Structure 1
Amino acid sequence: MWALVLVTVFSGEAAPWQQPLPADTAKPSVGTSCASALQPYIKTTLYFERPGSLTTAGQRKWQAFIREVLVRHFPDGGTILENIGWWRDPDGKVAGGRGNTLIVLGAPEKVAEHRRAAAAVVAEIKKRYQQQSVLWEESAVCASF
């Protein structure tokens, strides 16, 4: 494994985490495999440390973030789950704490718009709450409302 990492680092190619996202025109490949009652969607899941404290002031800031960032970028809706997680920080120390999981679905024909919205939310989380990283997961799903 180390040889692969060294080859990647010294070959001048971008490391996997530096590779661009798939082309904005790519659509989830679920169109023909969805059951008749379901429709294809692109599902974006963002995992991030819970910003702010649980105080009244912290809750007001969190509600403002939902209004100003999440609703603005994903006006059709989404789900926020509370979680507890752990991670290894850049200096090798294991840390953990409360977090949130944001789940949003987007129409496959609007995948470029959906990805731009997700990127804007990730950037705002990092900026507003000084987060080192936000885990961004994307998949093609079938769903019905």
Structure 2
Amino acid sequence: MKKITLFLICLLSLSFVGCININPKYLEFKSQPEVGLYSNEIIEKIKNKEEFSLEVFDTNFYKTFPVGKDDNIILYNFFNSINNKDYVEDSRETKKDLSNKEEFRLIVKFKEDKYIINVFDSELITIHPWDGNYSPDIINMKNVPLGYNLYDFCDYIRKD
């Protein structure tokens, strides 16, 4: 009986060892090594003329709207219209805004990578890859021209 009890105690203690992982990389969202990390990745892919497609996902109706190839230029124009001042640090005020549900998700699909642009309103977006390790890029679109504003673009695609 003592052997069975000892065996069960050892088995239970060994089974819990696998649950304790001090630094699981996939759960820890560290701050980015550089400002605009994910934005820069998208910009580089666009500059290298990698093929990509866009989809607008309306979170209110749970409906996806494909974007025609002619409208893909919006990403290039958007990224050319922002600068480093438009990137927002993760602050208490920003977290309050980010706790709201996003209106749209702009899904950017490259051959091997997939990025999500969460569009909260006409001023605030976040950018992250489908499976990123760092916190998302947070961008304020106040200074972006109306023609390149991603909220207006997503709204246009939904209504079109």
Place the TM-score, normalised by the shorter chain, in its bin: under 0.3
User: Highest relative contact order (Cα 8 Å, sep 6+), 1 or 2?
Assistant: 1
Q: Which TM-score applies when normalising by structure 1? A: 0.27
Q: Which TM-score applies when normalising by structure 2? A: 0.25
